[in-house]
């Protein structure tokens, strides 16, 4: 029971960025598919940014909650995939690669936008990052502006981290992840067919990677090395741009 306040505290600033990251990831898939000639997502009411149209009970709600309750785990989740029919596309292989790349591309764009928002907040109040997490500002007697800006700054920072992680995780070249579908679209026909045949087992492979990550270090490498490095680069670039614009 002592963990409940900590869980609610984590949810207060992690849930919204994660939800936006997952919903806009799927929206991007549907939007690009529509531009490539496939209106399936639009016809089924999935070409919308309404979160209710994209929520997957396990991936959007249960899985993130389980991650939050497990000490030391990283937060991961997914929305309900938008339907795509390559038969409606003029150049299915190329267009499917574009559709698959749109999701991670959207996450990287959200990471950049969140970093710019954080940089703007820091230019307003440079002491934000020196403050304690949301909720402690009132106890410390800080200004009313900090009480308002600090939670937004923390959510913006978390948005950068989660969007970079989701982009890189989805680029793992295993179907049904976006990286696997991009690779299927780019490979010659025979290797592409062999890789596509893994799709029914792709989720089992991913679960295995997650369960045995302590030994395999695949997910750890993505989160601690690539994601941390890319997140730091995006944040540094955004703060540098903000500093240059204010001079």
Report pLDDT digits (tens) over 87-143. 999 999 999 999 999 999 999 999 999 999 999 998 888 777 664 455 544 444 456
Which DSSP string do the residues of 128-154 spell out, in sequence order? GGGSPSTTHHHHTT--HHHHHHHHHHH
Sketch the domain layout of the chain as residue ranges. Answer: 3-246
Q: Is 26 a catalytic residue?
A: yes
pTM, to two decimals: 0.86
Report pLDDT digits (tens) over 47-81. 998 888 888 888 888 877 777 776 655 667 788 88
**Catalytic entry in 26, 138, 139, 199:** 26
HSE-up of residue 178 (Cα within 13 Å, Cβ side): 25
206-210's contacts with Cβ under 8 Å and 24+ in sequence apart are 206/172, 206/174, 206/177
> Which candidate, 243, 226, 208, places its Cα nearest to that of 169?
226
């Amino acid at each position: 029971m002592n963990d409940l306040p900590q869980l609610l505290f984590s949810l207060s600033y992690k849930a919204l960025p994660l939800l936006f990251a997952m919903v806009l990831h799927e929206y991007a898939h549907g939007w690009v598919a529509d531009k490539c000639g496939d209106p399936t997502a639009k016809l089924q009411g999935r070409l919308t940014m309404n979160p209710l149209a994209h929520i997957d009970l396990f991936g959007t709600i249960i899985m993130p909650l389980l991650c939050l309750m497990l000490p030391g785990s990283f937060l991961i989740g997914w929305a309900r995939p938008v339907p795509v029919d390559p038969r409606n596309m003029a150049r299915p292989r190329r267009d499917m690669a574009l559709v698959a790349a749109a999701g991670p591309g959207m996450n990287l764009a959200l990471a950049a936008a969140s970093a710019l928002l954080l940089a703007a907040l820091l230019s307003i109040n440079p002491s934000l990052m020196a403050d304690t997490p949301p909720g402690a500002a009132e106890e410390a007697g800080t200004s009313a502006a900090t009480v308002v800006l600090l939670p937004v700054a923390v959510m913006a920072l978390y948005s950068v981290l989660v969007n970079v992680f989701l982009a890189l995780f989805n680029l793992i070249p295993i179907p049904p992840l976006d990286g696997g579908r991009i690779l299927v679209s780019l490979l010659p026909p025979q290797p592409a067919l062999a890789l596509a045949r893994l799709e029914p087992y792709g989720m089992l492979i991913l679960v295995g990677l997650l369960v045995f990550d302590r030994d395999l270090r695949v997910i750890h490498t993505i989160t601690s090395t690539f994601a941390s490095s890319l997140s730091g680069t995006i944040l540094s670039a955004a703060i540098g741009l903000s500093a240059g614009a204010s001079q």
